[in-house]
Amino acid sequence: MNRFDRQKRVRIFAKVPLADQPHKYKLFRLAGIFLKDCKVMRSVLIFFLIALSSAIFAQAGRIQPQGSPSAGMEEPKIPICTYTLIPSVNKTWGYDIYVDKQLFIHQPNVPGLPGNEGFKTKADARKIAKLVTGKIKKGEMPPGVTLEEMKTLKVL
């Protein structure tokens, strides 16, 4: 048997099914489809790996060195606090506190005292509203008002 006969037999085996084993040709054909699918999957996998690595490198460019001022935690944002005086029960006064233009505290009565009546004058309500907005700006949460603080401001 020479070399030409051996190559011819291999070609015939790959193209034509054997009489005693008819399923082999189908297996070769299915294997060819499977290999084509593997090539497609391999190219899809390579594409996603390239996309993932480029995203990682893009994020690495955004990381700032340790010495920079904005490294780590950002500076805490100081909220914009405003207040409005509101009328309350029996011709008394309360206040609303707004943080970043959103209602944060609605206080129609004197904090810490029983009852529904507010402060007797607008000036008293304004003093406590300024005290509460100052506490919010300092980051004190909750911005409670004690009876001692109201006595030092001569509200009570």
Domain coordinates in residue numbering, the chain? 3-62, 81-152
Q: In sequence order, what E strands does 88-128 have?
A: 93-99, 102-107
pTM of the model: 0.52
Segment 36-63 shows an average pLDDT of: 76
Encode burial over 50-77: b for 16+ CB neighbours within 10 A, e otherwise: eeeeeeeeeeeeeeeeeeeeeeeeeeee
Residues 6+ apart with CB under 8 A from 80: 99, 100, 101
- In this prediction, residue 31 has a pLDDT band, given cuts at 50, 70 and 90, of very low
CB distance 110 to 80 below 8 Å: no
**Alpha helices, DSSP H, located in the chain:** 3-15, 23-62, 122-138, 147-152
Q: What is the pLDDT of residues 69-108, one digit of tens each?
A: 555 566 667 778 999 999 999 999 999 999 989 999 999 9
Q: With a cut of 80, say whether residue 109 has pLDDT above it.
A: yes
